[in-house]
Amino acid sequence: MWPPWLRPLAGGDRVPTLIVNGEARQRRIPFEAGRSLRDILDTTDLRVRSGCGGRGACGLCRVRIDAGQGGEATANERFYLDTHERDQGIRLACQVIPTQDLEITILAPAPKSPWRTLPDEPARCMGRVCAPPWNDLPAEVSAPCGVAVDLGTTHISLALYELSGAKWLAGRIGLNPQMDHGADLMTRLVAASGSGELARSMSRQVVEAIGEALFDLAIREGINIQRVVRLTLVGNTAMLALLSGKNYRLLLQPSHWMRPVDCLPDRPDRWAVPLGIHPRARIEIIPPLAGFVGSDLLAGVVHTHLTETGSGGLLIDFGTNSEMALWDGRVLRVTSAAGGPAFEGSGISCGAPVAPGAIHRVRFDSGGLDFAVISDSEPRGLCGSGLVDLIAGLVRSGSLTHKGQFAPHVPRSGFAIARGGPAMVLTKRDVDLFQQAKAAIGTGIQVLLDQAAMGSKDLRRIYVGGLFGRFLDIVNAQEVGLLPLIPPERVDLCGNTALAGCAEVLLSSAAVQRLKDLRDRTRIINLSSWPDFEDLFMTHLYLQPMRGV
């Protein structure tokens, strides 16, 4: 049963639902037809045991179908399951591809892991790939592989490909362990600058985390990660500096916020052994542009082809360090904004990262709140898109003013999302943090447009990157001033553009060339030194559609 204080979000097209019976309660997981039970479960925290990558070769992923149709047993199932087991409804999760509602019990749950399967396969269809000549690969490796890594402030994401044909194999996402040292960039930079040992520890944390994700892939997907002979990594400048242990102190000095920062490791190949990949693997860290504009933004520009489809394209990569790029047909103007962790669900009293249990969609009706939770888990808090929905709904209902003040009928403690369940309250401080984050984004967008002598009417397309944007309600985002007012159909929610672009650079010589060309066509804008920054920031604090943009 759902907690009495929230109800599942209704509406939209009916999609099939997987019902998973458990000791505590049932879990209801909407899914798209065409994926195996194993793949559906892998996007949640209800993973089933597996050791062959879903090929039906290990016989471990056993489930019982309690209601619904799972189709005829496959040859692999007839090999691993006897007649009595099949008569009981026992099946292999990787061999069942449901098309309608299905109710199951997991008989062989996998051990808990901090790593989850990527919800969307980045650049799975690499139709534009022009693969470089693979003439320097270790001769003893058959079917060599490559890994793309997006080192984010909150999450680390990686995608594994077979180099020949750019074939997608698997992907993982998990929290950046450096979160223990601060949710935002500046806190981590200050901590590292105060202790050389802590700085070295933070570097090791990231390398070990990537290694753990690869090990999870190896065990679960049945892939020998010694086949990995290429690894390409992108990230924001601060994350790259903390990874390499070089020049992170410079990022605390405003005089370096417009300059290139040498934050590449001297010998990244030394990480091959601790990562568990081939000892002669080539590891490439894509350098940032300058200041806080990292290689993650450049990878996003590569993936969206922002500079190749006419003027008026805007990319916003939402995150703890949000980065923006505007193409006017000749120049790519870029900037970054210290949005803080609000978009990642961190730093908010009722917040949660994009993971099972995060409320990612909220709707108001006469009876209360409707909502949607990732993986139908027990609600743990609001991720960024759920926070946008909640604040937009409160403004629309009159419970929150455009200045960010609660109406008199809202208790001083804040707006109670949860009643009778776990404490979940949107406080005034939470609203303030969101306003500051969105004001930083709005100021960045306006400065970019002003510099290009453009307005929102000139925006042909807006590309929204980052996990935050995956579930974003565009209209709600526009109502509170997070996105410019253009027709919603011209806003693309692109997911992790940094990882997808990194994969293209890993796999495509044409993408490598586009990345090189971008650096010559890019102009960096430092918001902190902008003459009208404070006035613009104050204007964009209001919870209302963007004015004058």
CATH of the domain at 461: 3.30.420
264 and 172 assigned to the same domain: yes
Please give the Cα distance from 328 to 314 (Å, whole number). 9
**What's phi and psi for 474, nearest 5 deg?**
-65, -40
- The answer to the question of residue 3 being in a domain is no
549 located within any domain: no
| pLDDT per residue as tens digits for the range 180-215 | 898 888 899 999 999 999 999 999 999 999 999 999
425 contact partners, CB below 8 Å, separation of at least 6: 349, 350, 413, 414, 415, 416, 417, 418
SS3 (DSSP) at 62 = strand
With 0-12 CB in 10 A as exposed, 13-18 as middle and 19+ as buried, what is 511? buried
Say if residue 351 is in the same domain as residue 335: no
Dist CA 99 CA 104 (whole Å):
14
The packing angle between helices 295-304 and 497-507, to 10°, is 80
**CA–CA distance, 155 with 503 (Å, rounded to integer):** 17
Rounded CA gap, 391 and 373, in Å?
A: 17
Query: Which segments in the chain show pLDDT lower than 50?
Result: 1-12, 123-128
Task: Please check whether residues 425 and 456 belong to one and the same domain.
Answer: no
CB atoms within 10 A of CB 267: 7
Is residue 444 domain-shared with residue 490, that is, in the same domain? yes
| CATH number, domain containing residue 259 | 3.30.420.480
Query: In the numeric block, which tokens belong to residue 497?
Result: 């553009």
Residue that is last in its domain, among 374, 404, 433: 433
Sign for the pseudo-dihedral over CA of 296, 302, 303, 309:
positive
Rounded to whole angstroms, the Cα distance separating 88 from 118 reads 32
The phi, psi pair for 329, rounded to 5°, reads 100, -20
Q: Would residue 17 count as lying in a domain?
A: no
359 shares its domain with 284: no
- Start-to-end C-alpha separation, the chain: 46
d(CA 26, CA 331): 53
Token readout for 297 is 């933004």
Residues 488 and 504 in one domain: yes
Domain coverage including residue 36: 31-106
State the DSSP H helix or E strand holding residue 206, giving kind and residue range, or none if neither: helix 196-221
Which of 87, 106, 125 is where one domain is finished?
106
CA distance 243 to 157: 15
Q: Does a structural domain hold residue 152?
A: yes
Whether 402 and 453 map to the same domain: the answer is: no
* C-alpha distances out from residue 439 to 148, 528, 540, Å: 32, 13, 5
The count of domains in the chain is: 4
Q: Which residue has the tokens 């001769």?
A: 139
Residue 26 lies in a domain: no
Asked if 462 and 328 sit in the same domain, the reply is yes
Q: Is there a contact between 41 and 47 (Cβ–Cβ < 8 Å)?
A: yes
Question: Is 258 part of any domain?
Answer: yes
Q: Find where tokens 């693979």 sit.
A: 134
* Last residue in a domain, options 106, 125, 153: 106
pLDDT at 224: 93
Q: Is 24 contained in some domain?
A: no
Question: Distance between CA 189 and CA 59 in Å, rounded?
Answer: 47
pTM over 0.85: yes
| Torsion angle (degrees, nearest 10) of CA 102, 106, 107, 113 | 150
| Contacts for 375 with CB less than 8 Å, ≥ 6 apart | 27, 29, 43, 44, 45, 46, 356, 357
Q: Are residues 66 and 190 in the same domain?
A: no
User: What distance in Å separates the CA atoms of residue 393 and residue 399, rounded to the nearest whole number?
Assistant: 9
* Three-class SS state of 369: strand
Note whether residue 269 is domain-resident. yes
Same domain, residue pair 406 and 506: no
Please tell me the predicted confidence (pLDDT) of residue 4: 34
- Same domain for 236 and 255, yes or no, is yes
- What burial class does residue 384 get, using C-beta atoms within 10 Å of its C-beta: 0-12 exposed, 13-18 middle, 19+ buried? buried
Tokens at 299, concatenated: 């990878």
Residues 159, 258: one domain? yes
